[in-house]
Amino acid sequence: MPRVAFLGLGAIGTPMARHLARPDFDLAVWNRTAARAEAFAAAHDARAVTTPAEAARDRDVVVTCLPVSRDVESLLAGPDGLLATMPAGAVLVDCTSGDAATSRRIAAPLAERGIGFLDAPVSGGVSGAEQGTLTVMIGGDEATLARVRPVIECFGKKIVHCGAVGAGDALKAVNNALLAMHIWGTAEGLVALEKAGVKAEVALDVINTSSGRSNASMNLFPERVVTRAFPRTFRLALLDKDVGIAAELAREQRITAPLLQLTSELFRMAHHELGEEADHVEAARVVERLGGAIIGGGDAAGSAST
């Protein structure tokens, strides 16, 4: 029976961990706010523990899903840390959308102890996590991936080996930078059209059968912006972090990437304006404020007219 630990029961970590709470797995869960781990264990086939060290004891696979790589790095050291108990031969699978430099720093002390490391960020959102259909972008050794693939397959449908440690992080950051560009660009276009007298429903209907379409125009704007629903599924603060990682990647590689740098600035501004708990699609609200029109009509406070 695979012995697995899951650390980080946030918006996406919780539905991912649910797929590991199964009778043929021995699952331990840890969360910084202990009440979340206790609630998870009460509702699922899992055991809540109070420290990362306790979570990692006797585990074959430890999965982490925290906001940033530095948060994962901070779980390693000390008497309560993962390194205190994680056995040689085990693998740390980090599903955080992280950064390559910190992932390499995490992998080094693990390797010294004979512990494997994979950066394994995911895409597909909370709904993909709930359905167990996430795409998982792997950085690290292919043989290590082969050993833990059955565990990752519990929540991942498409599992892609991208390269050495950090390659998964880099690809995930670029994907999310494209998401950010689509959100911002779609918002700018729809605000301009709104002011020109073209309704968002009409604009999206045309764009979504034309070459300008994207996940933003096909799903996010119709379901979340035009409706003013703005559900909180993926924090804007985290998308700001992702675009920052992509912009840094471009700088490290010394490529000219003005659009990545600008998108990073725009999302930092939106994050600053809307705060830590805003959803990523709410960046459209900043574009609306700057443009002086609400997508889908409605008053300045953002309530739809219909």
C-beta of residue 32 within 8 angstroms of C-beta of residue 42: no
Report helix, strand or coil for 8. coil
Nearer of residues 167 and 293 to ligand NDP, judged by Cβ: 167
Report helix, strand or coil for 4. strand
Side-chain half-sphere exposure of 4, counting CA atoms within 13 A:
28
- Enumerate residues 76-105 that contact ligand NDP by CB under 6 A: 96-97
Query: Applying CB under 6 A, which of residues 5, 6, 8, 216 lies at the interface with ligand NDP?
Result: 8
Nearer of residues 207 and 284 to ligand NDP, judged by Cβ: 284
Alpha helices (H) in 114-220, listed in sequence order = 125-131, 142-152, 167-195, 200-207, 215
Nearer of residues 10 and 189 to ligand NDP, judged by Cβ: 10
C-alpha pair distances (Å), 201 with each of 33, 140, 197, 293:
42, 45, 12, 15
Considering only the stretches 29-37, 102-110, 183-191, 254-262, report the one whose residues sit in contact with ligand NDP under the rule CB under 6 A.
29-37
Which residue in 172, 195, 199, 241 is the catalytic one?
172
Query: Applying CB under 6 A, which of residues 32, 104, 105, 268 lies at the interface with ligand NDP?
Result: 32
Q: Which residues contact 108 (CB under 8 A, 6 or more apart)?
A: none
**17 contacts ligand NDP (rule: CB under 6 A):** no
**235 contacts ligand NDP (rule: CB under 6 A):** yes
- Enumerate residues 117-176 that contact ligand NDP by CB under 6 A: 122-123, 125-126
**12 contacts ligand NDP (rule: CB under 6 A):** yes
Lookup: tokens for 31: 């969360």
Nearer of residues 107 and 191 to ligand NDP, judged by Cβ: 107
Lookup: tokens for 98: 């992280």
Q: How far apart are CA 76 and CA 84, in angstroms?
A: 8
Nearer of residues 203 and 237 to ligand NDP, judged by Cβ: 237
User: 157 an active-site residue?
Assistant: no
Q: How far apart are CA 280 and CA 47, in angstroms?
A: 32
Q: Please state the closest distance from residue 294 (CB atom) to ligand NDP, in A.
A: 25
- Known catalytic residues? 172
Query: Which residues sit at the interface with ligand NDP, rule CB under 6 A?
Result: 8-13, 31-33, 36, 65-67, 71, 96-97, 122-123, 125-126, 233-235, 238
